[in-house]
Amino acid sequence: MSTAAEAPTTAPTPPSLRQDSKEAWRRWRWPLCVLAVIVLAGAVIALSVPAGDDGRRLSPGNAAPEGGRALAQVLARQGVDVVRADRTEEATGATTSGSTLVVTDTMLLAPEQLDRLARDDASRLVLIEPDEVTLNVLAPQVRAAGYSNHTDREYADCSVGAAVTAGDIRGGGHLYARSGGATEGGVAVCYPQSDSDGTSGVDSSTERGSYVVTAANGRQVVVIGQSDLLTNEHLAENGNAALALNTFGAQSSLVWYLPDPLEVVGADQRPVLTDLLPSWVFWSLVQLALVALLAMAWRARRFGRLVGEPLPVVVRAAETQEGRARLYRQAGARGRAAATLRTTSLRRLATRVAAPGGTTPQQLVVLVAAATGRNPFEVEQTLLGPAPASDGALVELADRLDALERAAGMHSTPTRPQ
């Protein structure tokens, strides 16, 4: 009878399945939202930031004023194969005997990298504003000779073809001169700057210029002291473009090397941890590993097989009631709960006031009101009134029933906490 009465409160199968999926959605909603936002943001960032634009000065991919993208694009349009390199291996690997190697930011190069570049097979080497160390290795006939702030137009004043063709360019920048042991024929200094304006008595050994052409290690080396003329900003001025194109595009292949300050140099030569440790450490580690395996075998070996235990049922008898209580609460079955509480109270009150068998609830209300001296209407509201509208009202009803029983019996049941 109880199972039949409870049947409507339990949900049939399809709604519970739907509730399952609803529950799953509620649980996974927030993680899914966060994941979607992350994916979306990642996609937007990946699409909005163009690849290869690294912002470095004179980078062939940099479209900023100090970048070198204009020059690289013009060269590519003229059929020159421009290859960008970030590592020494990439640069030396990309060059052939018919290619030009451009090196910027030479102060970032370690001695090992300079040696590698010196052994490279490129037939033309262009150094942008090299420092003394670089020059010593790659162009020993040239030395650094100060700096000039005069960025005025300069005349070529030399016999190098590219400079003659270009005519006037942006001057100043780093200046270079022949080093002590160099012959005049081996080093051509263009766009010279005299120490003092107007004086002609300048010695050939002190002749300084921002564009120097020489030969070293069996190839032509061009040293450019004024890198501004290569930038997107200044490339179009005067003869800058002509000089840059003639210098960079003399051959069909161009390797544009921007040294990476984070490049690990000579990783294969540096001693690793194993080289520094004495050899017995390795062998004792092997021995220790064997000992560990033995210890595992020692501890893992079972002392005979286990004996199975047939376990009894562990379901508590009150579990049915607890489950029903949760169902009531989940379904908000206040009417049913209140009816049950009232029925149990009525049963107890019937014994308290010694009601004869077959007493109707209405008659019992009169008896209880008489026994307790309470207002019959109030007693009827408590015992037979409408179902409570909220959980709070249900709790209150339970307390009112308790109070009524106490009043009727003058003493409560011993199990009830006061």
Binding region for another protein (CB under 8 A):
1-3, 278-280, 282-284, 286-288, 290-291, 294-295, 297-298, 301, 303-310, 312-322, 324-326, 328-329, 336-338, 340-341, 343-344, 347, 391-392, 394-395, 398-399, 402, 413, 415-417
What tokens appear for 265 in the block? 């140099």
Instruction: Count how many residues are written for the chain.
Output: 418
Q: Least distance from C-beta 84 to another protein, angstroms?
A: 49
Classify 20 as helix, strand or coil. Answer: helix
Are 53 and 62 spatial neighbours (Cβ–Cβ below 8 Å)?
yes
Which is nearer to another protein, 129 or 405 (by Cβ)? 405
Please state, in angstroms and rounded to a whole number, the distance separating the CA atoms of residues 402 and 387. Answer: 17
Which is nearer to another protein, 336 or 374 (by Cβ)? 336
- Round to the nearest angstrom and report the end-to-end CA distance of the chain: 34
What is residue 324's DSSP assignment? H
Which is nearer to another protein, 182 or 403 (by Cβ)? 403
- Contacts of residues 268-271 at CB distance under 8 Å and 24 or more positions apart, as own/partner, are none
Q: Least distance from C-beta 388 to another protein, angstroms?
A: 10
Strand partners of residue 220: 124, 215
Q: Least distance from C-beta 272 to another protein, angstroms?
A: 18
Q: Which helix (H) or strand (E) holds 37?
A: helix 13-48
Please state, in angstroms and rounded to a whole number, the distance separating the CA atoms of residues 341 and 190. Answer: 109
Please state, in angstroms and rounded to a whole number, the distance separating the CA atoms of residues 414 and 405. Answer: 13
Please state, in angstroms and rounded to a whole number, the distance separating the CA atoms of residues 365 and 349. Answer: 9
Which is nearer to another protein, 111 or 335 (by Cβ)? 335
Which is nearer to another protein, 56 or 334 (by Cβ)? 334
CA 148 to chain centre: 45
CA 68 to chain centre: 30
The CA distances from residue 298 to 290, 295, 301, 405, in Å, are: 12, 5, 6, 70
Q: Least distance from C-beta 3 to another protein, angstroms?
A: 6
Phi–psi pair at 413, nearest 5 degrees: -65, 145
Which is nearer to another protein, 287 or 375 (by Cβ)? 287
Q: Least distance from C-beta 283 to another protein, angstroms?
A: 4
CB atoms inside a 10 Å sphere around CB 60: 23
Q: Least distance from C-beta 378 to another protein, angstroms?
A: 20
Q: Least distance from C-beta 418 to another protein, angstroms?
A: 11
Which is nearer to another protein, 45 or 314 (by Cβ)? 314
Alpha helix ranges (H) inside 148-223: 161-166
Which is nearer to another protein, 186 or 385 (by Cβ)? 385
Which is nearer to another protein, 153 or 328 (by Cβ)? 328
Q: Least distance from C-beta 369 to another protein, angstroms?
A: 23
Please state, in angstroms and rounded to a whole number, the distance separating the CA atoms of residues 150 and 138. Answer: 27
Please state, in angstroms and rounded to a whole number, the distance separating the CA atoms of residues 141 and 181. Answer: 7
Q: Least distance from C-beta 296 to another protein, angstroms?
A: 9
